[in-house]
Structure formats: C-alpha cells, structure tokens
Amino acid sequence: MRVVLSWLREFCPTELSAEELAELLTSKGAEVEAIERPWERLRGVIVARVLEVRDHPRSDRLCIARVHTGSGETEVVVGVRNMAPGDLVPLAGPGASVPLLPEPLGAREIRGVVSNGMLCAPDELGISPSHEGILILPPDLQPGADLKEVFGLDDAVLDIEVTPNRPDFLSVIGIAREVAAATGTPLRIPTPSFPEDPERAEDVATVRIEDPDRCPRYLARILRGVRHAASPIPVQARLTAAGMRPISAAVDATNYAMLEIGQPLHPFDLALLKGPGIVVRRAREGERMVTLDGVERTFTADDLLICDLERPVAVAGVMGGEVAEISEATTDILLESATFERGGIQRTRRRLELSSEASMRFERGVDPEAVPRGADRACELMVAWCGARVLAGAIDAGRAPERRWVSMRAPRASMLIGYEVTPADAAAVFDRLGMANRTEGDVVWVEIPGYRVDIEREVDLIEEVVRIQGYDRVGSRLPPVRQAGGVPETAAFLSRVRGLLVRAGLREVQLIPFASEADLRLAGGAEGAIRIANPLQAEEGWLRTSLLPGLLKAVRRNLHRQVRSAAIFEVGTVFRLVDGRPEERPSAAFAMTGVADPGWTGGGRPYDVFDAKGVVV
C-alpha cells in the first residue's frame, strides 16, 4: 500500500516527518519498506500562457509555441499540437528539471529553431502515465506561478508492506487510524455530503441477491448527468503516486474512494444494463463474458457473477465486463458497493488467474460496514468533478452483520505478555484504537468494528495491548507456562522409531506428501484419498495415502544417478477421508535396493528379505 503523506494528514494531522512516521508504523506492525519522493526532481517548472502556435518551418510534425511566462515571452518547439492560444501549460525552461529526465533542461536548436526548454506532458511531471499531449492546466492559474507549489507536488509516499491479516491497512484511513492510535493525534473522518435529486434511485433500477452467503450485501446508487472529464490534477498525481492509473473523473472517483476508505467500487453504464437491474447469482457452467482486460472468460458454477436481467456484466469482486463499461458517451451510472465472501473471491481469482485491486481487498476481508460510506464518498467526488446529479436514496439489498464482542482477561494478558496489565490499561488501549469497551471486574469486553477482521479471540486483543503499549516493554525473560514439561508422547515415540531405523543402517529422507493417481493405485486404490484444490503439479493432485510410492521414486532417482546401493526410510504423515472428514496418521516405511555391504571390503551381497526382517525385528 502506497500512502501519500498529505493524504494521510487530511485524516490525522500529525506533524511527524515521513522518516518518523515510517519508524513509528514499522514498530506497530505496519512495516514501511521505502519512503519515496516522486516529485523530488521537479524544479523550475512554471505556468505559462500560450500566445501563438505556428508551424515549424522545417518540419511537418513539429510546431512552435510562443508563450507568456508572467515576466516575458519565450518560444519552445513542441511535438504535439493539442494546446491553443489562451491555454495555460507547464513550461520547463532552461535550468528546470522534471522527474522523467535525468538532467536539467537547456536551450537547444531543433531543426534550425532554438527551443527554450519544453512544454510538459503529464508523465514528464509525474502526474500520470499519459504522454498523449501537453498537460492543459486550469484556467484560473497565474502565468509565472511555480507548478510544484500550485499543486502541492512536494509530497512523500510511504510504501507499506501489508500483512494478510491486516486488510484495514489497505486504505489511507486505515493507516491514519493507526497513526492516531500511536500518537494520540485526533482522527478526523468527515461524513460525505452532497445534494440529492428528487428522483428516487429505487424507481429507476432494481437489485436482487440470489446467493446471500456469497454476497451478504449489495448497494447501488444512481447518478445522472455525468460529464466526461479528467479528474483534477492533484487527484491524478495522488492516484499515480499510489500506484493507480488515472482514467477519467468518474472512474478516478471510484478508485480514489477505494484507496481512501478501502471499499472497492464499480461503475456501470446505466443505459447498457438490461432492465435496468442487477442480479447477483452463481454462474452457469460454461457461461462466458469478456472482462475489461479484453479477455473472454469461461465460468464454473462456483463463480459469482454480477448480472443485469439478461446476462453477466461483471465478475463479482474481481473485474467488470466490457458489456456495461463506462465510456465518453456515458451520462448515467449505476454505482456498485458490495461485500463478498472471501473464500469465493479467492477461488475465482486463482482459477481465472485474474488479480485486481478489488480482488486483493475482498479476499483479505473488507469492512462490511463501509459499503454505504464508500458509495457516498464516490458520489460526492463525482458531483464535484463530473457535475453529476445523485438520485435520492440507495437500492440496498442485504445488510451488514452485527458487531461481535470479544472478552480479554487482564491476568491472562499479564501472564502472556510478561508484565502487569490492568483492566484500566487495556481499556485505555482500546479507547485509543476507537473500539467501544466495557470493564467487568478483571475482564474487558471489546466491541469489534467491521474493519478489524483480524480480531477473533482473546489473544488477538492481548496482541493489540502490547502492540499499542510498545513491544519494547516486553522483557527478555520467558513467562511461566502452566503445563508439564518434556516431549509429548507421540513425538517421543516417533523420535524413537527414527533412532531405531538409523541404527539399523538406514538413512532418513523427507518427501513431499503429494501423490499421483498411479501412486494411489500402487498404494491400494484411491478410496478415501483427498484431492488437493491447488496442486503444485497437475499430475500430483492428491495427498498421499502411503509412504511407499514416494520412497520407491526416491530409490529410482538414486539408481538413475548410478548409486549402487540405497537404504532409506521416512517417518511422516499419510492422509485419508474417514467418515467424510480428513484424518492425518503418522506412518513409517523403508526401502532397500542394491548391495548390502558396499565398499572395498564388501562381498557384493545384494539386499534380501532377511535384511528387511532385521530392520523390523
């Protein structure tokens, strides 16, 4: 997760530097891998007004732009002609530098005409990857103004490694919440607000969920009069710095809200939806759809699809389809905000080999309570950037689950952490984290908000206490453990078996516990065998039911490498379904082949059944 520092400070106005924040977050479990400054080399670029654009006298492809810099006029040679007299453009004059070029610019002659620097495209300024034309600036700027200061392009970006158990860190607000808890700085999360049109959304479209287990909630908002435009330049810069590609104001609004809140969103062209309506259902076996990347996908009955009243229009939680994609002609939008079951999204993503920012968040777990907030934030942005009108109300099917309460015993926390934790200490930690709590004697009960999908039991709350109070408080002495010492009986028995086999002259091997269908037949059949959902190799798609096939393969590999003698064993686990449930059972097996007494003094006697009996007896 790449977090722009100024964006973070909008919600948690800390005065800590980027380096101090990186150290703080890393100490709390959100490791900052790098601090980047994408606009560090942007210097000397100013706003200029185009006065004239004329043909280059010696080139059909080039043109000459005469611009006003606020203090005078200058001319530059340009390779495109998307600007017109009166437009404001970024000018990098002699001595200026831009992120895309390694050296400062200078005046140079191009086809016999001196160009005093260059007019800049968005990618040259680090604002977006686009290089289709010169960046046209807003008309209210003053010629001569420093572009870096005007748009605040002096930011740092924190590149944070997010562990799978903390999906709340995949949002700016999630990181701001963590900074607020660590520093005591107030967290400020404004409520989205915008005017609503008298027309009601529920009178325009419908939503029906046919599989509530896989889609507990689906909310749709309707927007009309959406104007196709580019999002504001500071927004494009933020999205680019965060790793997203700016596309258009409407699409950028959904991506911006997702990065900010953590709730994936998807806009559909309302005019292209049949009905118009949305049906969330399982795919029919062999059903097809072309996704936004231009690839036709084939689905199974395990895949969840977003459909209109006639056909699929998106792969739920993964990617939209081309059939209802918004374009320059789009004026009305149905905006999707939903929650999906994590395991189903993960299976579909793996089978289709199709990853996206949305699927990464859904399969880790998104806040089920953020569904309306994410939609409202995107609507607020579309009103500001696209002039959209938001219809009154939302079409809301399903609901968010009730919040859970988890208890934590202060004495138990003290024993696990190694220093005393009082109920008041624990309650203060949860107050800083913004979690409602109550104390009953030595027990602290905590209400778990939707964004903390990682907190399920008491030990998770204890981890929060030591994390916020600081790991440096944990001493080096191990806390006492109230259980009998020694090695468990099963482990001790397996250790003795290994020792006996080693003393019998065998060498231990450790093999991968996967098997092919041929291995299962060799071991007595496939009855009770357990299939692997995502095998490393297609031909080894089962868990082994016996150790012998693997040992025989190991013996064969030795013989192919000219090893004359092999006496090996394995003590490992075999797997079977018993009464419909998987069962793991420890097992031991050995294999012998070749010469029993290798070496210069050996007689060359081959292994026989008596050698094997000697190992067992």
Asked whether residue 436 is assigned to any structural domain, the reply reads: yes
> Torsions phi, psi of 557, nearest 5?
-60, -40
Q: Which residue has the higher pLDDT, 259 or 521?
A: 259
Instruction: Tell me what percent of the chain is helix, strand and coil, each rounded to the nearest 5.
Output: 30, 30, 40
Grade residue 269 by pLDDT with cuts at 50, 70 and 90.
very high
Position 501 pLDDT exceeds 90 = yes
Per the prediction, the chain carries an average pLDDT of 93
**Which pLDDT belongs to residue 488?**
82
Tokens of 130: 């686009």
Task: State the amino acid at position 432 in one-letter form.
Answer: R
Position 536 pLDDT exceeds 90 = no
Do 102 and 89 lie in a common domain?
A: yes
- The residue count of the chain comes to 617
Q: In what order do the strands lie in the sheet with 443-448?
A: 404-409, 443-448, 437-440
**Which pLDDT belongs to residue 605?**
84
Which residue range(s) make up the domain with 414?
404-473
Grade residue 528 by pLDDT with cuts at 50, 70 and 90.
confident
Position 10 pLDDT exceeds 80 = yes
Percent of the chain at pLDDT > 70 equals 98
State whether residue 345 is helix, strand or coil: helix
**Which pLDDT belongs to residue 485?**
67
252 contacts 235 by C-beta, under 8 angstroms: yes
Do 520 and 435 lie in a common domain?
A: no
Asked whether residue 189 is assigned to any structural domain, the reply reads: no
Do 349 and 200 lie in a common domain?
A: yes
Asked whether residue 532 is assigned to any structural domain, the reply reads: yes
Q: Rounded to whole angstroms, how far apart are CA atoms 27 and 242? A: 23
Percent of the chain at pLDDT > 90 equals 84
Asked whether residue 520 is assigned to any structural domain, the reply reads: yes
Grade residue 249 by pLDDT with cuts at 50, 70 and 90.
very high
Q: What is the DSSP letter of 321?
A: B
Question: Where residue 224 sits, what CATH number does that domain have?
Answer: 3.50.40.10
Asked whether residue 483 is assigned to any structural domain, the reply reads: no
Do 433 and 526 lie in a common domain?
A: no
**Which pLDDT belongs to residue 142?**
95
Question: Where residue 611 sits, what CATH number does that domain have?
Answer: 3.30.930.10
Instruction: List Cα–Cα distances, 381 to 7, 231, 257, 376, in angstroms.
Output: 15, 10, 8, 9
Q: Rounded to whole angstroms, how far apart are CA atoms 181 and 168? A: 14
Position 433 pLDDT exceeds 90 = yes
**Which pLDDT belongs to residue 601?**
64
What average pLDDT does the segment 32-59 reach? 94
Task: State the amino acid at position 353 in one-letter form.
Answer: E
Tally the domains of the chain.
5
- Cis geometry, peptide bond prior to residue 276 (ω within 30 degrees of 0): yes
Distance linking the first and last C-alpha atoms of the chain: 60
Q: Rounded to whole angstroms, how far apart are CA atoms 346 and 589? A: 37
Helix (H) or strand (E) holding 95: strand 88-97
| Single residue among 398, 429, 451 that ends a domain in this structure | 398
Asked whether residue 484 is assigned to any structural domain, the reply reads: no
**Which pLDDT belongs to residue 483?**
63
**Which pLDDT belongs to residue 482?**
67
Angle between helices 410-417 and 458-469 in degrees, nearest 10: 60
Instruction: List Cα–Cα distances, 523 to 242, 250, 513, 528, 579, in angstroms.
Output: 53, 60, 14, 12, 20
Grade residue 478 by pLDDT with cuts at 50, 70 and 90.
low
Torsion angle defined by CA atoms of residues 339, 282, 271 and 231, in that order, rounded to the nearest 10 degrees: 40
Tell the burial category of 36 from Cβ atoms under 10 Å away from its Cβ (0-12, 13-18, 19+): middle
Do 111 and 60 lie in a common domain?
A: yes
The residues facing 568 across adjacent strands are: 507, 591
Do 222 and 319 lie in a common domain?
A: yes
Do 220 and 360 lie in a common domain?
A: yes
Q: Which one, of 39, 33, 35, lies nearest residue 17 by Cα? A: 35
Position 600 pLDDT exceeds 70 = no
**Which pLDDT belongs to residue 486?**
74
Q: The whole model's pTM is what?
A: 0.79
> Torsions phi, psi of 472, nearest 5?
-70, -15
Question: Where residue 8 sits, what CATH number does that domain have?
Answer: 3.30.56.10
Do 409 and 394 lie in a common domain?
A: no
**Which pLDDT belongs to residue 602?**
62
**Residues contacting residue 142 through CB under 8 Å, at least 6 positions apart:** 47, 70
Helix boundaries (H) for 353-409? 357-364, 371-386
Angle between helices 357-364 and 249-261 in degrees, nearest 10: 30
Task: State the amino acid at position 440 in one-letter form.
Answer: E
**Which pLDDT belongs to residue 376?**
97
Q: Rounded to whole angstroms, how far apart are CA atoms 518 and 86? A: 77
Q: Rounded to whole angstroms, how far apart are CA atoms 121 and 45? A: 12
Q: What is the DSSP letter of 300?
A: -
Grade residue 537 by pLDDT with cuts at 50, 70 and 90.
confident
Q: Rounded to whole angstroms, how far apart are CA atoms 614 and 606? A: 14
Position 334 pLDDT exceeds 80 = yes
Do 532 and 465 lie in a common domain?
A: no
Asked whether residue 512 is assigned to any structural domain, the reply reads: yes
Do 464 and 539 lie in a common domain?
A: no
| Single residue among 357, 372, 398 that ends a domain in this structure | 398
Do 340 and 356 lie in a common domain?
A: yes
Do 247 and 353 lie in a common domain?
A: yes
Asked whether residue 480 is assigned to any structural domain, the reply reads: no
| Single residue among 440, 473, 506 that ends a domain in this structure | 473
Q: Rounded to whole angstroms, how far apart are CA atoms 461 and 456? A: 8
pLDDT by residue (tens digit) across 374-410?
A: 999 999 999 999 999 999 999 999 999 999 999 999 9
> Torsions phi, psi of 133, nearest 5?
-175, 175
What average pLDDT does the segment 571-587 reach? 92
Position 480 pLDDT exceeds 70 = no
Given the DSSP bridges, would you call strands 389-392 and 196-200 parallel, antiparallel or unpaired? parallel
